[in-house]
Homo-oligomer: A and B are copies of this chain.
Amino acid sequence: MSRYDPSAFPPFAVTVDLVVLTVREHALCALLVRRGEPPFQGYWALPGGFVRPDEGLAEAASRELSEETGLRAHPTPGQGADGAVADGVHVVGAQAAGAHLEQLATYGHPQRDPRMRVVSVAHLALAPDLPTPRPGGDASSARWAPAGELIGQNPADGVPLAFDHGRILADGVERARSKIEYSSLATAFCPPEFTVGELRQVYEAVWGVALDPRNFHRKVTGTPGFLVPTGGTTTRQGGRPAQLFKAGGATVLNPPMLRPEA
């Protein structure tokens, strides 16, 4: 059988879906949009859309992220799976806050969309706390939803997400939880300058655990390349003034920040 028979290949629609995560009020939250048309009309879904004929996958994800959150994207001219195994793309917004974008996984069950064969290349975006969703200016059609309520064990917590987006979201959250252990990605949830306490609150929100502030401080400042002091201090957390840091050059943490056992 010929590997590519241009006259008879089965046609697919290809989309990108986005798991956009942020930390708001000590909770890990995901961006959801409300569907205005069938199927799953009125259900909450992940933002996403078609890949255009002349754009790459990461480019499409970056464009969708920009359309949904206002983050100006820094598109990648690279190959196909940008950030799938190597690291991801860095996205810059108006607030000069960094966001991280990487490919998550691809979902292609034949019946995942009731109308046609759709293969969705899901991407994971980690962003600092954004002002408020502004998807097309319609405030009621987008929201930040606490991730814990959406991927909880009991499905009685509320209406499930459209399509297989609940599964995609759960995969994205697990990827984020696991990846901040051995990479410096937790800083993608922080503003450009942040304190050790603020970074600790990110870890606590993403993992849903309480960490010892003193051991966390010693560990995070002792990992080479993770944090670089900016020289400034702040008292926005109350108490004694805290040093301000920015993300260092290291992408992989050595030693890693290990998640506490179950």
Residues of A within 8 A of B (CB): 1-4, 6, 9-14, 35, 37, 48-57, 78-81, 84-86, 103-110, 112-113, 115-122, 164, 167-168, 171-172, 174-175
Contacts and interface: CB of A to CB of B under 8 A. Distances in A.
A106 B12 contact: no
Contacts of A115: 4, 6
A121 B1 CA distance: 19
Contacts of A175: 85
Question: Is the contact region of chain A dominated by helix, strand, or loop, or is it mixed?
Answer: loop
A135 to B, nearest CB: 12
Contacts of A4: 13, 50, 113, 115-116, 118
B79 A105 contact: no
A54 B112 CA distance: 12
A59 to B, nearest CB: 9
A12 B106 CA distance: 15
A206 to B, nearest CB: 15
Contact of A110 (B11, B56, B119, B121): B56
Nearest to A121: B106
Contacts of A37: 2-3
A107 B121 CA distance: 10
7 contacts: A51-B108, A55-B110, A80-B109, A80-B167, A81-B168, A84-B105, A108-B121
A205 to B, nearest CB: 20
Given A13-B9, A51-B10, A106 B79 contact: no
A108 B84 contact: no
Contacts of A57: 106-109, 119
B167 A79 contact: yes
Nearest to A102: B105
Given A11-B12, A13-B4, A79-B164, A104 B120 contact: no
A124 to B, nearest CB: 10
Contacts of A78: 109
